[in-house]
Structure 1
Amino acid sequence: MTLLRDGWHRLRRSRLVRWISLAVVMLLIVEYVVLPQILGSGNVLAALRGLPPILVLLAAAFEALSLCCYSALTMVVLPGTRKPRYFTLLRIDLSDLAVNHVVPGGGTTSAAVRYALLTRSGVRPQDALSAAMVQVVGANLVLGVLFGAGVLTALGEVRINRYFITAGIAVLVLLALSLAALSVLDRHLEAAVRAARRTARLVRFLKPASTERFVRTMAAETAMFRRDPRRLVLALFLIICYWGFDAACLATFLAAFGHTPAPGELLIAYSLANLVALTPLTPGGVGLVEGVLVPTLAGFGAPSSAALLAVLSWRILNFWLPIPVGGLAWLSLRLGVLRKPAVRGTPGDGRVSRG
């Protein structure tokens, strides 16, 4: 109790925490009070209370499954044979998500928090970095595939303007280049390292040593998946489930408010909004996601009020709820399995203590 009380007092005195709290409150007011009034959609929470409870529970279940799939992916991509327990990894990922959703450009900060929690739970530093790189790169590549698939699917369903087609082609080209890069890493690693170091010297904000470490890490992960194709298939399946269950949560709210989108429409709108959210301008892409997703859905024929209510309802589960849940997850880790320093295996043995 003394540890918890001391931590609470430090949080109360932190100026950063006060500013973050104020920003979160202001974002909540703008998103759920001001914006609905401007667009004439009424009270979002009142609209949610008017929905059948079974639909809300179904949407919440889809979102929970999405988060569970991401932590299962963490388990799959972590190298080594001994890893923290799944429930420990789930709480680490929830803590990461909470930080990402409250700090502007929070990807770097949340990655540092996740790295610290993983290493404290017994994961070797290099393994923690490796898993993080593979998850981020893999998830974003699959998201690009989903966007391209949405454009191809929607060609026979709705009128797609040239901007969507151009974006779809650009994404597919980037995916092809990424696959080519992975092939080069697998077959010509040293040449790729030399090229990466030369590029880093030309770009001021890149460090040659860090760039080389990134290239070698990706090459090692590529080799690992090549040796174990079933692991690769499982990782891809979990990434698709991670995005798919989250999209299903959004689709459930859209259907609840009276609009059932075609698969191509949903994939385009959902993937485009999440690709835009990768821009580190606002915490977790708040404002950017809504600003892209609502008009895109409306452009595909969804009533504006239904699109807004569905997106804001989805964001309660997708964006806002993980903040307090992630805070509680972090607290449970620091007061539980991560309270004592981890007992690590000997360097190079590939083993870690269980969380």
Structure 2
Amino acid sequence: MGMSTAGAPAQTETRAVGGVSARSRLTRAGLLAAGIGLTVWGAFHAKSVGASWSAAWHHVVQLGWLWLIGLGVLWFLGLCVHTIVLTASMPGLSHRRALALNLSGSFVANVLPLGGVAGTVLNLGMARTWGHSNMDFARFVVVSKAADLVAKLILPVAAVVALLAWGSVALGRGSMLWLLASLACLGVAALVAAAIAGRARPMLRMVAALERFCRWCTRKVGARIPVEFSADAVRLAETTDGLVRRRWLQLTVGMAGYLVLQGGLLWLCMVAVGVHLSPPVIFAGLVAERVLTLFALTPGGVGLVETGAIAVLIALGTAPTGALAGVLLYRAYIFLAEIPFGGLATVLWLVGRGTTRRKAVTT
């Protein structure tokens, strides 16, 4: 009796832990299935509006080596410019190692469903072998991801304004709704930027209100779920404000340069397949692609991202097959090329770490 009574709580706890794990796996599987479903729907929708997959594939494969090499150089230059953001986010990090972090993290994220966490764990191991502390890496993740998030949330309002000013879209109810939505994104971007720069009070108020709402919801359903958003937000603000204040110019220049080069890559991909678009339309396609990467249900957001970018370009008057071919070519660099290069960067780091360990043992 004594043994069975003592073992019951442990068995219950084990089942609870297993249940949480099972729910987590089901959630991940459900999100992946949703992403695949949206991808399949997007493929059929593109075909229904006149896009030809065979013709788009023909446009891509008939490109000469000069086009492919030139586009590859521009893609790699964009990655190099992005290291300005990464080195600004972690003092002491070299540009070469920042490039390795970027490629290896993207490699894992692009091959695993919801693989962003796994990529971050790999990057943490790499940073620690280079002498950076856990706090250094936590601050690096927060600042670099916040810079990326702020840039992506600022882009929509700029795209809508550019389309209206250029005359690519008419001022009407639909465009005003998009403008209001983009202004809301701009407001969130301002809150995030202010928070990591040490002016976190407006964001903390919003987080505290969200925390109270979540606690009220958990009480209503009878659950006891600890909600500590405010404390986490305070620690976040305390660890990043000094770094951001010192390096805001590097963060801004690096992110702006990276986005300009990505826009140039998308434009050249369109030109390569014979599609010539106005700058605001190219910009709108880039914005759609960048924003949709925030909702990466599939590895690297593949399928969903392409569907959204193609839909925006077609809605703005681009020939369906041309939009399909150009976006697929662009994503071949942004998504596919990062897998072999990221895998190579990961292997080189593993080999270098093994060499360092053997030298330490022999000495």
The separation in 2 between residues aligned to 1:36 and 1:184, in whole angstroms, is: 41
Equivalences for residues 211-230 of structure 1 within 5 A: 212-226=231-245, 228=246
Residue in structure 2 matching 1:310, options 320, 323, 326: 326
Specify the SS of the correspondent of 1:277.
Answer: helix
1:50 aligns with 2:62: yes
* CA-CA distance at 1:209 after TM superposition: 5.9
Distance 1:97 1:188, change over 3 A: closer
Distance 1:185 1:277, change over 3 A: closer
Identity of aligned residues (%): 20
| Native 8 Å contact 2:108 2:118 kept in 1 | yes
Distance 1:267 1:54, change over 3 A: same
Distance 1:52 1:123, change over 3 A: same
Aligned residues: 310
The separation in 1 between residues aligned to 2:181 and 2:44, in whole angstroms, is: 36
> Counterpart in 2 of 1:128?
137
Residue type at the aligned position of 2:76 = A
1:111 aligns with 2:134: no
> Counterpart in 2 of 1:280?
296
Distance 1:104 1:324, change over 3 A: same
Distance 1:190 1:232, change over 3 A: closer
Residue type at the aligned position of 1:56 = L
1:262 aligns with 2:278: yes
Gaps of 5+ in 1: 1-22, 342-355
Distance 1:332 1:168, change over 3 A: farther
The separation in 2 between residues aligned to 1:159 and 1:193, in whole angstroms, is: 38
Residue type at the aligned position of 2:99 = L
The separation in 2 between residues aligned to 1:186 and 1:91, in whole angstroms, is: 27
1:166 aligns with 2:177: yes
The separation in 1 between residues aligned to 2:176 and 2:206, in whole angstroms, is: 33
Of structures 1 and 2, the larger Rg is shown by 2
Cα deviation, 1:86-127, whole Å, max 9, x if unaligned, reads: 222211210100111111122222222222221222111111
Specify the SS of the correspondent of 1:75.
Answer: helix
* CA-CA distance at 1:307 after TM superposition: 0.9
Name the stretch that deviates more: 102-111 or 191-200: 191-200
The separation in 1 between residues aligned to 2:189 and 2:89, in whole angstroms, is: 19
> Counterpart in 1 of 2:257?
241
| Native 8 Å contact 1:298 1:307 kept in 2 | yes
Cα deviation, 1:195-230, whole Å, max 9, x if unaligned, reads: 85675475479965675344333343233332x3xx
> Counterpart in 1 of 2:307?
291
Residue in structure 2 matching 1:67, options 68, 76, 79: 79
Specify the SS of the correspondent of 2:295.
Answer: coil
What's the TM-score, normalizing by structure 2? 0.73
> Counterpart in 1 of 2:98?
89
What's the TM-score, normalizing by structure 1? 0.75
| Native 8 Å contact 1:144 1:172 kept in 2 | no
The separation in 1 between residues aligned to 2:306 and 2:188, in whole angstroms, is: 30
Q: What is the Cα-based RMSD across aligned positions, in Å?
A: 3.5
Residue type at the aligned position of 2:348 = S
Cα deviation, 1:26-69, whole Å, max 9, x if unaligned, reads: 99xx89x9999984242656433423433332321221112112
Specify the SS of the correspondent of 1:336.
Answer: helix
Cα deviation, 1:251-276, whole Å, max 9, x if unaligned, reads: 10111222222221122222123212
1:300 aligns with 2:316: yes
The separation in 2 between residues aligned to 1:276 and 1:191, in whole angstroms, is: 26
> Counterpart in 1 of 2:25?
none
Residue type at the aligned position of 2:300 = G
Gaps of 5+ in 2: 1-32, 219-224, 358-363
